[in-house]
Amino acid sequence: MVKDQEFLEKKASYCLGLAKKFGATDTSVVVKNSVSETVNFRNKKLDEANRSDDLGISITTYIGKKKSSISSSNLLTDNLSILIEKCVETTKNTPEDEFNSLPDRDLLSKEVKDLDLYDDSHIANDQKIDYLKKLEAAASSDKKIINTESSFTQNKSNFTLANSEGFCDGYKTSSFTASSVTVAKDEKSMERDYEYSSKCFLKDLDDADELGTLAANQTIRKLSPKKIGSEKIAIIFDKRIAKGILNTFASAISSSAISRGTSFLKDKANQKILSDKINVFDKPDMLKGLGSRNFDSEGVKTDTLKLVDQGILKHYLIDTYNGKKLNLKSNGRCGGTSNLYFENGNISFKDLLNSNSKSLYITETIGHGSNIVTGDYSVGATGFLVENGEFKYPINEITIAGNFKDMFQNITLANDLEFKYATNSPTMLIEGMVVAGK
Amino acid sequence: MSNFFEKTDLSRKEAENIISDTLQKCDDGELYLENSKSESILLDDDKIKNSSYNSDLGFGFRAISDEVVAYSHSNEISKNSLKQSSENLKSTLKSVKGTYNHEIPKSNKKYYDNINPIEQKSLNEKIKILNDVNDYLRSKGDKVKQVTANFLGEQKSVEIIRSGGETLSDVRPLVRFNVSVMVEKDGRKETGVYGVGGRQSYDSYLKDENWKSVCDEALRIASVNLESKPAPAGEMKVVLGPGWPAILIHEAVGHGLEGDFNRKKTSAFHNLMGQKVASEGVTIIDDGTIDKRRGSLTIDDEGTPTEKTVLIENGILKNFMQDRLNARLMKTRSTGNGRRENYRHIVLPRMRNTMMLSGKQTQEEMIKAVDKGIFAVSFGGGQVDITSGKFVFNCTEAYEIVDGKIGSPIKGATLIGDGPSILKEVSMVGNDMMMDPGIGTCGKAGQGVPVGVAQPSILIDKMTVGGTKL
């Protein structure tokens, strides 16, 4: 069982007291417990069962404008005492930084709304096994599938965030995640693909049959890929890749990248950085949302932000430290975005495929090719050649490249948004990118 | 050396009894105890942004029956907690009828000293060096707009208790020092990153103002990139410099030679043992025994002493890298490659220091042999799709080669290739093998472990360069 709020609060307040005793002028503490149980299957047989119980604490102490932090998984009182004393000692020896402080008191969250983030139901390992059997039967029904690996995880977490300004709050969250990875083979090639479902509530999880079938189909269609020539071409990003581009956008508007001057979107507030009709929202209070939260990792209240309005950048993602540096107030984005998404575009998926006589539909990228300082983008990719709206054949061993500054101005979105991850995008078309192949 | 049973209600004898009772009919398994202390001190934007210290303690209890692994971990070393883990394992492995394999090789060799690098240098000294780094780089001219430098230090004590009470232990120091610098000229910004590290004290890398050479290298890379032009797109010849570019070896063939993917037959290499997978002259080893290197280990995380494992010898595939589980199922022996990020994770076969050995040619000969291509000197990260064999890595410093001569620097581009065929495209192997500077972390199944790479300069006849210039 995950530890209750009372236990976590007691530990937190013990630490706050101790830090004060050792000479800290301000302190913040996070105590978190997470219990998860995973069952893995491979080729229709049990492969691994894993239970983890993680309890951890992290403490930041301030002496005026000096700051230092510690974290530990050993919550025995004598260990905490040694660590906090060490932390305060380190704080004394760390140079001042004028922007260091706890969040402004008036920005702290005052209430915790019930966002439906915790499901009390428990799925025993035997039931997880039943689900995975069904999933793997569906995933391996085609003879071309030669290997299946699937996994079911139940996670229950609880946390408390407390600081010396009197903030003390926290809440439980749960997640149930099933995934299927399949390998398909023919005479010419061997390919891998996957499908996955993650929900706060057990009853919302995708059907096992559907998940397995989808994983298998997505893998089989990749068999016998071809390599194409190098050319300028329109790229259509599958939703699972498009969300990554949105995440890159989010890191480029984080107040730390902006205040350090290491983002290609620095000084772009209130300017047009995306195509005309594009709206981007970050909405923390979605019920059962995978990125939902009541407050950020400093305790600052979080409201919905329309980050981009008709292509114009309206907000950075601001925490207390970088906010003070930029002379802006925190908007509760310490720790990043919550439920971040592009609003739907106004054409269908089918029309998006049809909007160019020839395009590349990308289902997977590999490599770490996003540079937020310069905006340069270059990654390895696999996908399909699309001609006149039809999927022609699979493609691999190519790269796609461009610069986000141009790419962002050339985005067209379909109207097929769904909330499957914390960050979500409809299918995305970007014109004028370069593919390198033969 | 940690005493894991101090201050707990669990005696070593009681723990041994629980372990032996849980594992009696299993094929393998152990209790893994870990106590790690780590620090991170970061200078950024002219200030000490962060000084943090982490102390992590916990155990992972593993039981294996045939192919099935049951695992349970907890932060709390206590009688109750270990018993609960034991119950979890037993409930997973309902009817076990194996024979526990007690065999584990022994060695007295050690590849690093029992030190705690964090305690060897005071906080004030570390802060002073970081401030000196900042002042030094910012004195190099107005174009320097941002400097980030950090220390990462760690001491990890591990103990492995096997059924019957056999105990193996290791204390592992690890440090890393990194510098990143951003420069700006005419509105254009570029960054350069460099770092050093390994399993010894910070001073081994920093004494006598050695940190200046790290700064100089980061600044040199950033400055080169300021002059870079768009990279070409398409297939061409590629010359790789020695040292860190060996992450190509790590991605292209290393992962594909890990035991688990080959047992499961999901690696593009699984049916190629004994066959020619690389050009003649290409020999690749994975070596855990190099003194004080980042990827070295005295014993792996299952207690097996590490070794120098020949993977590819003169072009022929000789061995996979094995942990105990995959070795047993593939009827071979562990090569000491069983590793985990920490006690929260299960053991997987992982690389240590993966190296391509020197050949006879010179880098000059390679450059001369290229009409049109690129010369790649430094890299960011890489990634591989084990199943299709396709891998990528990102250049952070590269030049075009025109008519046998090195030309202008080119912008960072991704290079993509096919693992099983790329080594057959190697047409020259240099005589200048070099280790990387000790900064690599390899990710697999959500677990990061420190690794090393090495290679001489090599010429690859055909690779796809992912630039924007057609």
State the nearest Cα–Cα gap between A45 and chain B, in angstroms: 9
Q: Where are the alpha helices (DSSP H) in B370-409?
A: none
B15-35 pLDDT, tens digit per residue, is: 999 999 999 999 999 999 999
* In the predicted structure, residue B109 carries a pLDDT above the cut 90: yes
B313-B315-B321 Cα angle (round to 5): 55
Which positions in chain A touch B346 (Cβ < 8 Å)? 48, 50
Average model confidence (pLDDT) for chain B?
A: 95
Cβ–Cβ below 8 Å for B123 and A125: no
Which among B244, B248, B270, B246 is positioned nearest to B257, based on CA atoms? B270
Lowest mean pLDDT among A22-36, A86-100, B282-296, B411-425: B411-425
CATH value of A5-220 in 3.40.50.12240, 3.30.70.3270, 3.30.2290.10, 3.40.640.10: 3.30.2290.10
Cβ–Cβ below 8 Å for A261 and B51: no
The answer to whether A348 contacts chain B (CB < 8 Å) is no
* Residue entry with tokens 């075009």: B400
CB A344 within 8 A of CB A281: no
Which tokens sit at A31? 């105590």
Q: What is the pLDDT of residue B1?
A: 56
B305-328 pLDDT, tens digit per residue, is: 999 999 999 999 999 999 999 999
* A174 φ, ψ (degrees, to nearest 5): -135, 155
* A426 φ, ψ (degrees, to nearest 5): -70, 170
pLDDT per 10-residue tile (average), chain A, 438 residues: 93 97 98 96 95 95 96 91 95 94 95 94 95 98 96 97 96 98 95 97 97 98 96 97 98 96 95 96 97 97 97 98 97 97 97 96 94 94 97 96 96 97 98 94
Cβ–Cβ below 8 Å for B127 and A94: yes
Instruction: Measure the CA–CA gap between B78 and B69, rounded to whole angstroms.
Output: 23
The answer to whether A223 contacts chain B (CB < 8 Å) is no
Helix A77-93, helix B123-138: angle, nearest 10: 40
14-73 in chain A: CB under 8 A from chain B: 42, 45-56, 67-73
Give the residue-averaged pLDDT of B101-123: 93
142-171 in chain A: CB under 8 A from chain B: 146-147, 149
Instruction: Measure the CA–CA gap between B404 and A137, rounded to whole angstroms.
Output: 57
Pick from A46, A90, A260: CB nearest B44: A260
Q: Model ipTM? A: 0.89
Q: What is the pLDDT of residue B386?
A: 87
Cβ–Cβ below 8 Å for B88 and A51: yes
The residue of chain B nearest to residue A193, with distances taken between CA atoms, is: B387
B470: pLDDT confidence band, cut at 50, 70 and 90? confident
Give the residue-averaged pLDDT of B90-119: 91
Cβ–Cβ below 8 Å for B234 and A230: yes
Cβ–Cβ below 8 Å for A397 and B44: no
DSSP symbol at B9 = S
Which positions in chain A touch B388 (Cβ < 8 Å)? 189-192, 225, 382, 396
Which positions in chain A touch B75 (Cβ < 8 Å)? 53-56, 73-75
Amino acid, single-letter form, for residue B221: I
Q: What is the pLDDT of residue A367?
A: 92
Which positions in chain B touch A382 (Cβ < 8 Å)? 385, 388, 390
Which among B216, B242, B190 is positioned nearest to B357, based on CA atoms? B242
Helix B79-92, helix B12-23: angle, nearest 10: 10
What's the fold here for domain B123-157+171-224?
A: Double Stranded RNA Binding Domain (3.30.160)
Which positions in chain B touch A149 (Cβ < 8 Å)? 264
Cβ–Cβ below 8 Å for A53 and B73: yes
Cβ–Cβ below 8 Å for B71 and A231: no
CB atoms within 10 A of CB A85: 15
Q: What is the pLDDT of residue B450?
A: 98
Cβ–Cβ below 8 Å for B264 and A147: yes
**How far is residue A422 from each of residues A114, A199, A281, A286, B340, measured CA to CA in Å?**
18, 10, 12, 10, 28
Q: What residue spans define the domains of chain A?
A: 5-220, 226-438
State the nearest Cα–Cα gap between A336 and chain B, in angstroms: 18
State the nearest Cα–Cα gap between A85 and chain B, in angstroms: 12
Cβ–Cβ below 8 Å for A97 and B47: yes
Cβ–Cβ below 8 Å for B414 and A183: no
What pTM does this model have?
0.93
Cβ–Cβ below 8 Å for A397 and B53: no
What is the location of CATH 3.30.160 in chain B?
123-157+171-224
Pick from B48, B58, B231: CB nearest A94: B48
The answer to whether A95 contacts chain B (CB < 8 Å) is yes
Best of A43, A46, A235 to disrupt the B interface by mutation (most B CBs within 10 Å)?
A: A46
Cβ–Cβ below 8 Å for A90 and B51: yes
200-219 in chain A: CB under 8 A from chain B: none
Which positions in chain A touch B123 (Cβ < 8 Å)? 90, 93-94
The answer to whether A235 contacts chain B (CB < 8 Å) is no
Question: In the 3-class helix/strand/coil scheme, how is chain A assigned residue by residue?
Answer: CCCCHHHHHHHHHHHHHHHHHHCCCEEEEEEEEEEEEEEEEECCEEEEEEEEEEEEEEEEEEECCEEEEEEECCCCHHHHHHHHHHHHHHHHHCCCCCCCCCCCHHHECCCCCCCCCCCCCCCCHHHHHHHHHHHHHHHCCCCCEEEEEEEEEEEEEEEEEEECCCCEECCEEEEEEEEEEEEEECCCCEEEEEEEEEECCHHHCCCHHHHHHHHHHHHHCCCCCECCCCEEEEEEECHHHHHHHHHHHHHHCEHHHHHHCCCCCCCCCCCECCCCCCCEEECCCCCCCCCCCCECCCCEECCCEEEEECCEECCCECCHHHHHHHCCCCCCCCCCCCCEEECCCCECHHHHHHCCCEEEEEEEEECCCECCCCCEEEEEEEEEEEECCEEEEEEEEEEEEEEHHHHHHCEEEECCCCCCCCEECCCEEEEEEEEECC
Residues 6+ apart with CB under 8 A from A7: A33
Pick from A52, A86, A368: CB nearest B380: A368
What percentage of chain B has pLDDT greater than the value 70? 100
The answer to whether A354 contacts chain B (CB < 8 Å) is no
Instruction: Measure the CA–CA gap between A12 and A10, rounded to whole angstroms.
Output: 5
Provide Rg for chain A, Cα atoms. Answer: 24
Give the residue-averaged pLDDT of B371-379: 94
CB B309 within 8 A of CB B295: no
